[in-house]
Copies of this chain bind each other. A is one copy, B any other.
Amino acid sequence: MSRQHDESTAIDHVEQRRRQWTRELPDVDTVGMAVLGRARWITLHARPAIERVFARHGLDTGEFDVLATLLRSGPPYRLRPTELYKSLMISSGGLTDRLARLEAAGLVRRVASEVDARSLLVELTPAGRKRAEIAFREDMQVEKAMLAALTPSEREQLGRLLAKLAAHVAAHGEPEPG
Contacts and interface: CB of A to CB of B under 8 A. Distances in A.
Interface of A: 3, 8-15, 17, 20-21, 23-25, 28-46, 48-49, 52, 71-74, 89, 133, 136-137, 139-140, 142-150, 154-170, 172-174, 177
A38 B156 CA distance: 12
A37 to B, nearest CB: 8
Contact of A161 (B29, B133, B139, B157): B157
A9 B168 CA distance: 13
Nearest to A148: B168
A163 B14 contact: yes
A46 B170 CA distance: 8
B144 A168 contact: no
Given A34-B159, A167-B149, A173 B13 contact: no
Contacts of A172: 145-146, 148
A123 to B, nearest CB: 15
Contacts of A146: 32, 36, 165, 168-169, 172-173
Closest CB pairs A-B (n = 6): A32-B143, A149-B168, A38-B162, A34-B159, A20-B72, A39-B39
B40 A43 contact: yes
A38 B155 CA distance: 12
Contacts of A72: 17, 20-21, 24
A11 B24 CA distance: 40
A175 to B, nearest CB: 9
